[in-house]
Structure 1
Amino acid sequence: MKNYPTSTIIVSTYNWPEALAICLKSIANQVVLPNEVIVADDGSKQDTTDLINRVRRTFPCPLIHVWHEDTGFRLAAIRNKAIAKASGDYIIQIDGDIVLERHFVKDHLSFCRKDCFVSGSRVRVEKELGAKMLTEKKIDVSLFSGGISNHFNGLRIKFLRNHYRFRYRMDDPYYVKGCNMAFWREDLYAVNGYNEDMTGWGREDSEVAVRLINLGKKRQFIKFGGVEYHIEHSFSSRDKEPVNIAILEEAIAQKIIYCKNGLSKYL
């Protein structure tokens, strides 16, 4: 087996234990397991804690729960707290409403390069199929399942994966998908992780990508690999998005690398 770096999967979640259950099931089913999994919990109720405690008993690698009080949407903060707990040299970031194709971790670890971070994409699972998956605790979804869209994002073709590494979405150099990203832990430390001035939904993933690029790291896209299925759900409030966009635009204009309100407070 290839000598992969040690890895941590960080799974962000909030009050949806049914989705988290099948997300964790899909991680346990990986052909290459991470060294640990950290659930970054933005203030969920007791049923999420109970789920994690049950799953931990038979989970094939350490399963860590990082929680803080629910005082509103604080994804940047809970991700920083999880990053501070991570021991893996390479951090793979997903959301708790994601089901991973069984080669997801292997694809990411095979794709990683020093001085780069990664964004991937997702296959959308429509509501009817998503409800069935949640009820039946089903993770064997595929491109041939009825009720999915974005089929192109579900293909695994290695030579195309390498071809598109630096060629995808060249029209938007800061475009990323926070539900499918990966970073070297030392690079996140160098930019002080996520900017906690960004609360509410939106743009915190693009902003950390901007600062990594300002540091000199390259954005890679993992197309035709790192496949994941995203269960459709209602959107969070986007009231804070204009403020977050302003912070993002400042990071671009001022070439900011290190955010003041970030990871360091937890280290």
Structure 2
Amino acid sequence: MFVSVLISTYNWKDALALCVRSVFRQTVKPAEIVIADDGSRDDTREMIEELRQETDIPIVHVWHEDRGFRKTEILNKAIMKVSHPYIIQIDGDVVLDKHFIADHLELAEKDYFVCGSRVGVDPHQTERFFKTKGKFRPYFFQLTFMYMLNSFRSKWVRRYLEKRYFPKNIKRLRGCNMAFWKEDLLKVNGYNEDLTMWGQEDTEIAYRLIFAGVKKKFLKAGGVEYHLYHKPASRANLEFHNRVLDEVIAEHRSWCENGIVKGKKER
């Protein structure tokens, strides 16, 4: 199956390089890499040019001007540039286990989207990732209990839990580890661009997918990724984002008016 890896980034070129090179090392390679760049400086563009010289995987760089946190907008622009039917979405501050794409494709099924977990690493471990050019992996017992579970791989556990792990709890997901059919994203009009700054954009689109008839799978015991440590993003607009999410849930909305297409859905 032809799959695109969609990576969001903003002004952390060294983390992005680790992330993209971990895509290069996958046991199953994607057909393309699409980078959704929320206005990074020229050094990110230069890094992407270097990465293009290291691979035969096409790398598409989708950029817009830096006018503040506009992740939802750049993701929508990038989705429209995706060439293949299945999208695995990650953030540019994660390093992937070499089986990450293979594990995701195991669970790919029509009328489903997939959400996975992450393994958070501390500042010291993050430094080790950079020093080893992404080859470092923390030992199992160096992780907190929850992250131990998130670093574990088992095909039997993965397939057993895919539809059983918190099936009704949409809020237990991470936008840095999700997968969708492109046609399903278009069905709900992509990400809600009213959600500027950090928070709930991934949960909000997941609920709209559910209300559009797309079911959820949870990828546990596989799809392992390591999230590099950084200072938390500003939560300044989170109260508004929570209100938007509450309205989506209360009204069972599947379409957002400020998405890929601007305006109400044609009937």
Instruction: Settle same-fold status: TM greater than 0.5.
Output: yes
Identity in percent: 46
Between the two proteins, the alignment pairs up a number of residues equal to 261
Check the 8 A contact 2:128/2:136 in 1, yes or no. no
Per-residue deviation at 1:146? 4.4
Contact 1:37 1:62 in 2 (8 A): yes
SS of equivalent to 2:159: helix
The 3 A distance-change label for structure 1 pair 168 and 147 is: closer
Deviation string for 1:190-228 (max 9, x for gaps)? 000000000010000000001000011111100011111
1:104 partnered with 2:100: yes
Q: Residue 61 of structure 2: SS of its match in structure 1? A: strand
Asked if structure 2 preserves the Cα contact closer than 8 Å seen for 1:12 and 1:40, the reply is yes
State the distance in 2 between where 1:143 and 1:241 align: 35
Partner of 1:180: 177
Displacement of 1:142 in angstroms is 4.7
**Residues 1:264 and 2:264 aligned together:** no
Give 1:89's aligned residue.
85
Alignment partner, residue 51 of structure 2: 55
| Contact 1:143–1:154 under 8 Å retained in 2 | no
User: The residue matched to 2:165 in structure 1 has which SS?
Assistant: coil
User: What code does the residue aligned with 2:19 have?
Assistant: C
Equivalent-residue separation in structure 1 for 2:139 and 2:165 (angstroms): 21
AA aligned opposite 2:250: A
Residue pair 1:28, 1:60 contacting (<8 A) in 2 also? no
Specify the alignment match of 2:186 in structure 1. Answer: 189
How far the C-alpha of 1:182 sits from its partner, in A, is 0.2
Structure 1 residue 167: Cα displacement: 1.6
CA contact (8 A) 1:25 1:139 kept: no
Question: Which deviates the most, 161-170 or 92-101?
Answer: 161-170
Residues 59-74 of structure 1 mapped to structure 2, 5 A cutoff: 59-74=55-70
Provide the secondary structure at the position in 1 that maps to 2:120. Answer: strand
1:167 aligned partner: 164
Task: Return the letter of the residue paired with 1:137.
Answer: K
- Say whether the 8 Å CA contact 1:119–1:222 is kept in structure 2: yes
Q: Distance in 2 between matches of 1:176 and 1:87?
A: 25
Counterpart of 1:99 in structure 2: which amino acid? V
Task: Return the alpha-carbon distance in structure 2 between the equivalents of residues 199 and 183 of structure 1.
Answer: 22
- How far residue 132 of structure 1 moved from its aligned partner, in angstroms, is 2.3
> Counterpart amino acid of 1:14?
Y
2:208 and 2:169 mapped to 1: Cα distance?
15
Runs of 5+ in structure 2 lacking a partner? Answer: 263-267
1:214 aligns with 2:208: no
User: 2:131 — aligned with what?
Assistant: 135
User: Letter of the aligned partner of 1:232 in structure 2?
Assistant: Y
Q: Distance in 1 between matches of 2:139 and 2:87?
A: 27
- The amino acid across from 2:7 in the alignment is V
User: What do the CA deviations read for 1:31-83 (whole angstroms, capped 9, x no partner)?
Assistant: 10010001111111111110001111122300111111111111111111110
Contact 1:94 1:179 in 2 (8 A): yes
Alpha-carbon separation, structure 1, partners of 2:138 and 2:28 = 19
Alpha-carbon separation, structure 1, partners of 2:246 and 2:239: 10
Detail structure 1 runs of 4+ shifted over 6 Å in the superposition: none
Q: Map Cα deviations across residues 120-177 of structure 1 (whole Å, 9 max, x no partner).
A: 0011111111022123323342544846761110111011111111221246234321
Q: Output the amino acid matched with 2:23.
A: I
| TM-score scaled by length of structure 1 | 0.94
Residue 89 to residue 16, structure 1, CA distance change in 2 (3 Å): same
Partner Cα distance (1:142, 1:104) in 2:
17
Equivalent positions of 1:12-51 (< 5 A) are 12-51=8-47
Which letter maps to 1:226?
G
